[in-house]
Amino acid sequence: MLKRQTVAGAVALGVVGALAVIGTATVTDYLLKLAVDRQRPPIPKAVWSRVNPPDGMPSAEQMDSFQRRMLDLPQKTVRIQSRDGLKLVGHWLPTEGATRTLLMMHGWRSSWLNDFCGIVPFLQDCGCNMLLVEQRGQGESEGAHIGFGVLEQHDCLDWVDALRRQICPHLPIYLVGISMGATTVLMASGHPLPEQVRGIVADCGFTSPAAIIASCLKAGFPKARQDILPLLNLAVRRRAGYRLDAYSTQTALRDNTKPVLFIHGEADTFVPVTMTLENYRACRAPKELLLVEGAGHGLSYVFDHEAYQTALKTFFSRYDAKQTV
């Protein structure tokens, strides 16, 4: 009888263990698709609202108006090939009498239209050409996977090269990014950049793929097993060819020599403001910091456009004519 109970108990434990493994594998697969696959699975509203509350977002009507106004501007679609063979798409918005060019990178699962439509009129008014990039694995650019900046940093360098050699070779260049785009340009700063690149503007960037995914897991999936991140890291490496802990903005910023303007909304629950503070502390080059009270993720310009505009104008005027190495 005891033997039968022991065998039955072992079988039961085995079944429970198998179910736990299956459950973990299912969750890992879902998170893998959500994080890096071009076609994402549905995000439960309850999860998304915990991670990124909609407070302060422009209305759908406002966004539609901003985007239509942006699409009506004179522009040209440009294409390059990445160093790993992908066709990447950008949108060139020239400004008459421009004094600088901005290379602009949007965020995770967003778009050039969504992330920059509100600020484009101001940037044109203050003399900026703009090259708005569609990041790999998103929009019209090729790629089956999103790289959280680890892959996109090299695309950023290729776009810089295209600007210098073909599109606009004679004006100062600034690298501008929001959210994952900010992480992209900060990671690119760890590589040698040409003198023509005068500075970097990083709005609400995260520190590394591993750090932001861990933060979102804690906020959106508080009951997820603690060992899910190493499993997800392994899955990303197998699926997309990179590790979540392969690189960080802090590592890049220790080698960066270009001035950086860091911006972040203090009420950001998607990318914690502490990540920009970590980036700021890691930066050894000239640096400036704008924190916007009450602003959620990517909404600093919406909440305080005067402070945002002043910070940009000051940054541009300080470094347009200055040669940095």
Residues 112-130: pLDDT tens digits?
A: 999 999 999 999 999 999 9
Q: How many residues does this entry show for the chain?
A: 325
Structural domains in the chain, sorted by start: 57-208+247-319 (3.40.50.1820)
Average pLDDT, the chain: 89
Q: What is the pLDDT of residue 10?
A: 36
Higher pLDDT, 168 or 6: 168
Cβ pair 51, 219 in contact under 8 A: yes
Within 8 A by CB and 6+ apart from 319, the residues are 172, 198, 199, 259
- Count CB atoms within 10 A of the CB of residue 324: 17
Greatest mean pLDDT among 1-10, 51-60, 212-221, 267-276 lies in: 267-276
The dihedral through the CA atoms of 90, 56, 298, 32 has a sign that is negative
Q: How far is it, in rounded angstroms, from Cα 262 to Cα 203?
A: 6
Q: What is the pLDDT of residue 2?
A: 37
Q: How far is CA 109 from CA 14, 41, 93, 184, in A?
A: 40, 12, 22, 14
Higher pLDDT, 87 or 20: 87
Q: What is the pLDDT of residue 313?
A: 98
Q: How confident is the model at residue 220 (pLDDT cuts 50, 70, 90)?
A: confident
Query: Closest Cα to residue 187, out of 245, 248, 134, 240?
Result: 248
Q: How far is it, in rounded angstroms, from Cα 209 to Cα 140?
A: 23
Q: How far is it, in rounded angstroms, from Cα 14 to Cα 25?
A: 16
- φ, ψ of residue 235 in degrees (nearest 5): -65, -40
pTM over 0.85: yes
Q: Tokens for 200?
A: 């970097």
Q: What is the pLDDT of residue 7?
A: 37
DSSP state of 227: T
pLDDT in tens, 45-55: 777 776 677 77
In three-state secondary structure terms, 165 is helix
Q: Tokens for 77?
A: 């679609």
For the segment 93-118, the average pLDDT, to the nearest whole number, is 96
For the segment 77-106, the average pLDDT, to the nearest whole number, is 97
Query: Closest Cα to residue 305, out of 102, 123, 42?
Result: 123
pLDDT in tens, 2-13: 343 433 333 333
Q: What is the pLDDT of residue 56?
A: 80
Q: How far is it, in rounded angstroms, from Cα 268 to Cα 52?
A: 8
Worst-scoring range by mean pLDDT, 5-19, 143-157, 195-209, 269-283? 5-19
Q: How confident is the model at residue 170 (pLDDT cuts 50, 70, 90)?
A: very high
Q: How far is it, in rounded angstroms, from Cα 186 to Cα 190?
A: 7
For the segment 274-291, the average pLDDT, to the nearest whole number, is 98
- φ, ψ of residue 309 in degrees (nearest 5): -65, -40
For the segment 267-285, the average pLDDT, to the nearest whole number, is 97
Q: How far is it, in rounded angstroms, from Cα 134 to Cα 130?
A: 13
Residue percentage of the chain with pLDDT more than 70 = 90
